[in-house]
């Protein structure tokens, strides 16, 4: 990829400016916030949509301190009906992101995969005592910097996906080459002013860093970040390395669990079981992707089919 003139990373991002999918606008515009099911509808949608989730959390943050609303559901309870009104009214000025290319759809699929994989890993490694709702939300938001950059450079997902990155590290390199900064820099700068719960700031800012960058005393954040890192690696494998063999996937799992991991390596789990978890979650993420109403994932970008091939090789 050629280095071209760089676009400065924004230092402050107002959450109202974050781009959302068309389904967010159509759902919210047709929603009667006084209806009993409006809470459930918004929660379901925010669990699919990182930018909507951030907006809900941000409204909860302006209603008081972080304590007591550290998951999406609790944030929704905190904002109440007046907060729902605010979410709806703010959408009239929101940027709309319509994923049409393989790269754009792949980026959305990645958000869902990392959220769902993080949740499953938290449930599977129950001895680590990670709240699976927090793990899901951290996975959903970890790459929010990529969406902020989309707002500035609309073709950025396509430019990055056409590079030859094959793991999170090479993705960062490709971004820095193309734009002069990575999505981590954009995301961490932006979330600094959003007053999100600490574990979410940690996931956005540190999901590509060694855990020792985080405070030793914040065990919860360190565990959540590690789970998100592992989910990120697995999702990138499913999206970018699906033509490789089952051995390559087992190698990745072994490498992470035995060498890079701090918390997961203390857990006993056979790589085969983890691979099965990956296969199931990838299939479920494609189902959930359909709920975004941006059309199916085309065959060329079909990780579920690809992972199935890896396992039946």
189 binds Fe ion (CB under 5 A): no
Which two structure tokens, joined as six digits, stand for 111?
A: 């958000």
Q: How far apart are CA 232 and CA 208, in angstroms?
A: 9
- Rank residues 226 and 232 by Cβ distance to Fe ion and give the closer one: 232
Q: Closest approach of Cβ 118 to Fe ion, in Å? A: 11
- Rank residues 58 and 185 by Cβ distance to Fe ion and give the closer one: 185
- Rank residues 161 and 232 by Cβ distance to Fe ion and give the closer one: 232
- Rank residues 104 and 143 by Cβ distance to Fe ion and give the closer one: 143
Q: Which residues on adjacent β-strands are paired with residue 20?
A: 96
Binding mask 87-116 for Fe ion (x = CB under 5 A): ------------------------------
Q: Closest approach of Cβ 172 to Fe ion, in Å? A: 7
Q: How far apart are CA 179 and CA 162, in angstroms?
A: 14
Which two structure tokens, joined as six digits, stand for 9?
A: 């990373």
- Rank residues 88 and 238 by Cβ distance to Fe ion and give the closer one: 238
Query: What's the first-to-final CA gap in the chain, in angstroms?
Result: 32
**Nearest alpha carbon to residue 71 among 289, 224, 293, 183:** 224
**Which of the stretches 173-181, 231-239, 271-279, 296-304 binds Fe ion when contact is defined by CB under 5 A?**
231-239
Q: CA geometry: angle at 86 spanning 85 and 88, to 5°?
A: 65
Q: Closest approach of Cβ 110 to Fe ion, in Å? A: 6
Rg (CA), the chain: 19
161 binds Fe ion (CB under 5 A): no
- Other C-beta atoms closer than 10 Å to the C-beta of 65 total 8
- Other C-beta atoms closer than 10 Å to the C-beta of 173 total 13
- Rank residues 74 and 208 by Cβ distance to Fe ion and give the closer one: 208
Q: Closest approach of Cβ 150 to Fe ion, in Å? A: 14
Q: Closest approach of Cβ 147 to Fe ion, in Å? A: 11
Total interface residues for Fe ion by CB under 5 A: 2
How far is C-alpha 296 from the chain's CA centre? 19
- Other C-beta atoms closer than 10 Å to the C-beta of 131 total 17
Q: Closest approach of Cβ 308 to Fe ion, in Å? A: 22
- DSSP codes of every residue in 90-136: HGGG--B----SHHHHHHHHHHHHHHHHHHHHHHHTGGG---HHHHH
List the alpha helices (DSSP H) in 8-95. 22-29, 38-46, 50-62, 72-90
Q: Which of residues 128-147 bind Fe ion (CB under 5 A)?
A: 143
Q: Closest approach of Cβ 39 to Fe ion, in Å? A: 29
- Rank residues 119 and 232 by Cβ distance to Fe ion and give the closer one: 232
Q: How far apart are CA 161 and CA 159, in angstroms?
A: 6
232 binds Fe ion (CB under 5 A): yes
Q: Which residues on adjacent β-strands are paired with residue 96?
A: 20
**Which of the stretches 71-79, 95-103, 226-234, 258-266 binds Fe ion when contact is defined by CB under 5 A?**
226-234
- Rank residues 27 and 235 by Cβ distance to Fe ion and give the closer one: 235
Q: Closest approach of Cβ 81 to Fe ion, in Å? A: 34
The binding site for Fe ion (CB under 5 A) comprises 143, 232
């Amino acid at each position: 990829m050629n280095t071209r003139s760089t676009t400065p990373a924004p230092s402050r991002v107002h959450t109202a400016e974050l781009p959302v999918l068309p389904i967010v606008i159509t759902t919210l515009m047709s929603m009667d916030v006084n209806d009993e099911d409006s809470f459930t509808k918004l929660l379901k949608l925010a669990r699919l949509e990182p930018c909507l989730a951030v907006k809900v959390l941000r409204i909860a943050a302006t209603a008081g301190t972080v304590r007591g609303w550290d998951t999406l559901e609790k944030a929704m309870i905190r904002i109440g009906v007046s907060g729902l009104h605010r979410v709806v009214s703010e959408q009239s000025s929101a940027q709309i992101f319509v994923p049409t290319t393989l790269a754009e759809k792949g980026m959305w699929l990645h958000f869902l995969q990392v959220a769902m994989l993080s949740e499953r890993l938290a449930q599977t490694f129950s001895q680590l005592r990670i709240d699976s709702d927090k793990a899901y939300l951290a996975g959903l938001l970890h790459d929010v910097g990529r969406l902020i950059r989309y707002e500035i450079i609309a073709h950025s997902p396509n430019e990055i996906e056409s590079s030859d990155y094959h793991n999170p590290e090479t993705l960062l390199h490709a971004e820095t080459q193309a734009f002069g900064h990575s999505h981590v820099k954009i995301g961490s700068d932006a979330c600094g002013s959003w007053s999100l719960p600490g574990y979410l700031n940690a996931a956005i800012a540190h999901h590509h860093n060694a855990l020792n960058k985080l405070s030793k005393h914040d065990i919860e954040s360190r565990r959540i970040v590690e789970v998100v890192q592992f989910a990120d690696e697995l999702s990138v494998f499913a999206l970018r390395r699906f033509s490789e063999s089952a051995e390559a996937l087992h190698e990745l799992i072994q490498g992470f669990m035995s060498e890079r991991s701090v918390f997961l390596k203390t857990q006993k789990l056979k790589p085969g079981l983890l691979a099965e978890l990956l296969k199931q979650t990838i299939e479920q993420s494609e189902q959930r992707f359909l709920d975004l109403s941006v059309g199916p994932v085309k065959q060329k970008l079909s990780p579920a089919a690809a992972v199935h091939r890896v396992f039946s090789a």
